[in-house]
């Protein structure tokens, strides 16, 4: 086995361990900061459930088919995330949803993106065993996200959204296990 394939296996294992350590129920408090307008940050509280998925399960087979992978059992593992979100100011209705993540190589496959119902992929990296970084591009936008496990009770997330090379929004999250 070459050193590149060993490193790749290690990155996949780290990513799968990270997803596994995120399994459970979380309360997420987040703020959206718009950078190009003088507006008050939007505040949202979400209740999130993360469930691990194993290679060959129906959800990951469906995800592989959505992405036209040759081997429908290729995705090594992943998570299904469901949520219910409530905006602090009553400007928007509560939102419910779900998404599926799957790991293969250095790609995180999703059944839908942040701002699209179409399947998307993100390039991921692990800066350390507790920090997952994602870069997703579609529709002229770039989403750069960092998710960091502080310990088993807390994690932080930050997303920077750019369009045409210019940052337009920052979203920051503090999540605690419930």
* Residue-level pLDDT at 113: 87
Q: What is the pLDDT averaged over residues 109-122?
A: 92
**Confidence class of residue 90 from pLDDT cuts 50, 70 and 90?**
low
32 token code pair: 């959206």
Written in H, E and C, the secondary structure of 96-142 is: EEEEEEEEECCEEEECCCCCCCCCEEEEEEEEECCEEEEEEEECCEE
Mean pLDDT of the residues in the chain: 92
Round to whole Å and give the CA distance between 67 and 118: 10
CA atoms of 101 and 79, how far apart (whole Å): 5
Res 7: pLDDT: 53
Residue entry with tokens 């219910």: 84
Q: Is the pLDDT of residue 79 over 90?
A: yes
Contact criterion met (CB below 8 Å) for 11 and 106: yes
What local confidence, expressed as pLDDT, does residue 63 receive? 98
* pLDDT band of 93, cuts 50, 70, 90: confident
CATH of the domain at 66: 2.40.128.20
| Distance (Å, whole) CA 89 – CA 91 | 5
Beta bridge partners of 117: none
- pLDDT tens figures, 122-168: 999 999 999 999 999 999 999 999 999 999 999 999 999 999 999 99
Which range marks the domain in which residue 108 is found?
3-177
Q: Which residues contact 43 (CB under 8 A, 6 or more apart)?
A: 29, 30, 31, 32, 87, 88, 89
Enter the pTM of the model. 0.89
Q: How many domains does the chain fold into?
A: 1
Residue-level pLDDT at 8: 53
């Amino acid at each position: 086995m070459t050193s590149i394939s060993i490193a790749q296996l290690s990155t996949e294992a780290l990513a799968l361990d990270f997803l596994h350590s995120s399994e459970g129920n979380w309360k997420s408090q987040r703020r959206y900061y718009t950078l190009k307008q003088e507006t008050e940050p939007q505040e949202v509280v979400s209740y999130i459930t993360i469930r691990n998925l194993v290679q060959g399960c129906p959800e990951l087979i469906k995800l592989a088919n959505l992405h036209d992978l040759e081997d429908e059992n290729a995705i090594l593992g992943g998570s299904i995330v469901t949520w219910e979100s409530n905006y602090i100011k009553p400007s928007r209705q509560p939102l419910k949803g779900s998404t599926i993540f799957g790991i293969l190589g250095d790609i995180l496959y999703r059944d839908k993106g942040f701002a699209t119902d179409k399947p998307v992929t993100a390039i991921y990296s692990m800066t350390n065993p507790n920090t997952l970084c994602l870069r997703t591009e579609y529709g002229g936008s770039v989403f750069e996200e960092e998710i960091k496990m502080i310990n088993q009770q807390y994690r932080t997330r930050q997303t920077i959204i750019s369009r045409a090379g210019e940052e337009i929004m920052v979203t920051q999250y503090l999540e605690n296990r419930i």
